[in-house]
């Protein structure tokens, strides 16, 4: 395997903007500056590192003038996220964009250099819409992924070592992620380093702190994703400054929700995450935490500031309220009733079932210290999750691929696709969840999720035929291009 290496250099923290009008400007600036000292709070709109295309298209004659930097990549076939198939496909890339897609090498001038990949099928770079990239475990002796004994790191150090998760994600053919919860804005820092070319990883859309209701923990439960466990317990050596809980998305009442959301956006969040129920790790309880009115307040606040919102809910009641409240995506929910599924179809609400992550926790139960009985509970929840996904697909609900990857699950991001096929999808349907629907989740349908002119040059070469066998996507990734740069080559 050949993968480029890049030195990591953390950027200096920037002065934070005012968080909320509810406190004085002086106090807000002072307090947020303390939070900003933990990390870089730069918000780049996921700008590509590589230059845009220098090739041009004449709109009158529909002819393309290829620049000297253009390259043609020749594949046995292209299977697009829409399901369209192009045999003997030639994809011309210039800078970070796709210039043209055609069939046969004669469709491109001989002057354009060609790269032969005819042993492979091309698919779009895939999108994992539910990860926790900062959750890194170094397997220190006597430690667990969540628990005492882990190596203590500053947020800057954690953002550096967690780039291993980013590398493993690229190897699965995932070139874009939506990262839903991290402490101390380590996700913002990772995103910015990747965007600035200081590290190699997938394109990241991040949430910062996820909104959590202040409640007593369930007996034996691990903290929700994005809470103190983010990145592994004990991972952040820097003590957080004393700020109001809502500024770190710890919500006591509905009046704090709008301010908490604005704080996340001011600190660099591309998307908002709300934990609407219990449920994480071995805890498969479904008790709702935020009620409908609180969810609606969060949805309205996020949308007013131009952000989409994902609501985590393990149970049916919280999932139903999240749909009613207008969440853009609903994460995990099981046993959604027919009326809720119909409302999701009508509203365009996207379901992210994350079926496979409970398989992961059961498989790695020894590492986490989970009991055999807890593993059985994870398996039981997974079966209910799979059945809900089957019913949602049959009802016509849009489904997006989300792994909920943490720790050792990176490198397994796309296993969810196999379960979606078990839920009744065709392999092409499954690919659609990881491309076209994933791009819709991010609001990037015009630039991500397809191999088409004008889109980012995110292309994956796989062995086999993903139109017929989903295992080509799970096991066959051999070459990955992200934004016009080859980031994985295992040919």
Is 70 exceeded by the pLDDT of residue 25?
no
Task: From 406, 469, 473, select the one nearest 180 (Cα to Cα).
Answer: 406
Average pLDDT over residues 1-25: 34
Per-residue confidence (pLDDT) for residue 217, from 0 to 100: 60
For residues 222 and 371, the model is more confident at: 371
Is 70 exceeded by the pLDDT of residue 371?
yes
Cβ atoms of 237 and 46 within 8 Å: the answer is: no
Q: What are 177-198's pLDDT values in tens digits?
A: 999 999 999 999 999 999 999 9
Average pLDDT over residues 43-55: 47
Q: For tokens 């999108």, name the residue.
A: 127
Q: What is the CATH number of domain 126-442?
A: 3.20.20.140
Q: What are 231-259's pLDDT values in tens digits?
A: 433 344 444 456 667 677 788 999 999 99
For residues 305 and 140, the model is more confident at: 305
Buried b / exposed e along 290-312 (16+ C-beta atoms within 10 A): bbbebbbbbbbbbeeeebbbbbb
Domain ranges of the chain: 126-442
Is 60 exceeded by the pLDDT of residue 35?
no
Q: For tokens 């007593």, name the residue.
A: 216
Residue 465 tokens read as 């035929």
Q: What are 61-78's pLDDT values in tens digits?
A: 567 888 999 999 999 999
Residues contacting residue 67 through CB under 8 Å, at least 6 positions apart: 53, 54, 55, 56, 94
Q: pTM of the predicted model, to two decimals?
A: 0.85
Of the pLDDT bands very low, low, confident and very high (cuts 50, 70, 90), residue 298 is very high
Exposed/middle/buried for 486, CB within 10 Å: 0-12, 13-18, 19+?
Answer: middle
For residues 232 and 29, the model is more confident at: 232
Residues contacting residue 353 through CB under 8 Å, at least 6 positions apart: 332, 333, 385, 386, 388, 389, 392, 399, 402, 416
Neighbours of 394 (CB within 10 A): 11
Cβ atoms of 419 and 387 within 8 Å: the answer is: no
Of the pLDDT bands very low, low, confident and very high (cuts 50, 70, 90), residue 283 is confident
Q: Which has the minimum average pLDDT: 249-253, 347-351, 358-362, 403-407?
A: 249-253
Is 90 exceeded by the pLDDT of residue 200?
yes
Of the pLDDT bands very low, low, confident and very high (cuts 50, 70, 90), residue 27 is very low
Task: From 38, 44, 36, 40, select the one nearest 18 (Cα to Cα).
Answer: 36
Per-residue confidence (pLDDT) for residue 219, from 0 to 100: 54
Per-residue confidence (pLDDT) for residue 60, from 0 to 100: 61
Residue 211 tokens read as 């909104």
Is 70 exceeded by the pLDDT of residue 43?
no
Neighbours of 217 (CB within 10 A): 12
Of the pLDDT bands very low, low, confident and very high (cuts 50, 70, 90), residue 152 is confident
Report the distance separating Cα 354 and Cα 199, nearest Å. 27
Mean pLDDT of all residues belonging to the chain:
85
For 323, half-sphere exposure in the C-beta direction (CA atoms, 13 angstrom radius) is 25
- Full 3-state SS string of the chain: CECCCCCCCCCCCCCCCCCCCCCCHHHHHHHHHHHHCCCCCCCCCCCCCCCCCCCEEECCCCEEECCCCCEEEEEEEEECCCCCEEECEEEEEECCEEEEEEECHHHCCCCCCEEEEEEEEEEECEEEEEECCCCCCCCCCCCCCCCCCCCCECHHHHHHHCHHHHHHHHHCCEEEEEECCCCCCHHHHHHHHHHCCCCCCCEEEECCCCEEECCCCCCCCCCCCCCCCCCCCCCECCCCCCCCHHHHCEECCHHHHHHHHHHHHHCCCCEEEEECECCECCECCCCECCCHHHHHHHHHHHHHCCCEEEEECCCHHHHHHHHHHCCCEEECCCCCCHHHHHHHHHHCCEEECCCHHHHHHHHCHHHHCCCHHHHHHHHHHHHHHHHHHHHHHHHCCEECCCCCECHHHCCCHHHHHHHHHHCCCCHHHHHHHCCHHHHHHHCCCCCCCCCCCCCECCEEEECCCCCCCCHHHHHCEEEEEECCEEEEECC
Percent of the residues in the chain that have a pLDDT greater than 90, as a whole number? 72
């Amino acid at each position: 395997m050949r993968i480029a290496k890049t030195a990591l250099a953390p950027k200096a923290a920037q002065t934070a903007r005012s968080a909320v009008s509810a406190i004085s400007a002086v106090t807000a600036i002072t307090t947020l500056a303390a939070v900003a000292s933990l990390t870089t709070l730069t918000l780049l709109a996921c700008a590509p590192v590589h230059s845009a295309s220098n090739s041009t298209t004449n709109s009158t004659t529909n002819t393309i003038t290829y620049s000297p930097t253009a390259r043609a990549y020749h594949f046995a076939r292209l299977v697009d996220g829409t399901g369209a198939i192009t045999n003997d496909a030639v994809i011309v890339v210039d800078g970070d964009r796709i210039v043209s897609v055609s069939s046969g090498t004669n469709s491109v001038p001989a002057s354009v250099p060609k790269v032969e990949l005819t042993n492979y099928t091309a698919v779009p770079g895939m999108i994992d819409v539910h990860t926790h990239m900062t959750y890194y475990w170094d397997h220190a002796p006597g430690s667990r992924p969540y628990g005492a004994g882990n190596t203590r790191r500053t947020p800057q150090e954690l953002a550096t070592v967690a780039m291993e998760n980013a590398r493993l994600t690229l190897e699965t053919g995932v070139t874009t992620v939506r990262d839903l919860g991290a402490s101390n804005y380590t996700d913002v820092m990772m995103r910015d380093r990747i965007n600035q070319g200081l590290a190699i990883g997938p394109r990241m859309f991040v949430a910062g702190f996820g909104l959590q209701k202040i409640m007593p923990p369930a007996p034996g439960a691990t903290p929700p994703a994005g809470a103190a466990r983010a990145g592994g317990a004990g991972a952040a050596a820097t003590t957080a400054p004393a700020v109001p809980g809502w500024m770190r998305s710890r919500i006591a009442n509905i009046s704090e929700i709008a301010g908490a959301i604005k704080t996340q956006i001011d600190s660099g969040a591309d998307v908002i995450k709300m934990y609407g129920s219990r449920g994480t790790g071995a805890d498969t309880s479904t008790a709702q935490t935020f009620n409908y009115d609180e969810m609606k307040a969060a949805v309205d606040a996020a949308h007013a500031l131009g952000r989409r919102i994902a609501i985590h809910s393990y149970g049916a009641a919280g999932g139903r309220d999240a749909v009613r409240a207008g969440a853009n995506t609903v994460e995990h929910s099981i046993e959604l009733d027919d009326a809720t599924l119909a409302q999701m179809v009508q509203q365009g609400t996207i379901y992210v079932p994350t079926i496979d992550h409970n398989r992961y926790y059961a498989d790695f139960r020894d590492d986490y210290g989970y009991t055999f009985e807890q593993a059985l509970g994870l398996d039981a929840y997974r079966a209910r999750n799979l059945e809900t996904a089957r019913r949602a697909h049959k009802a016509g609900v849009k489904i997006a691929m989300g792994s909920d990857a943490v720790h050792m699950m990176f490198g397994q991001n796309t296993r969810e696709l196999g379960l979606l096929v078990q839920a009744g999808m065709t392999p092409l349907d499954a690919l659609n969840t990881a491309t076209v629907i994933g791009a819709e989740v991010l609001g990037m349908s015009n630039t991500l999720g397809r191999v088409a002119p004008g889109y980012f040059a995110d292309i994956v070469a796989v062995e086999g035929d993903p139109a017929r066998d989903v295992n080509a996507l799970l096991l066959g990734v051999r070459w990955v291009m992200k934004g016009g740069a080859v980031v994985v080559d295992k040919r």
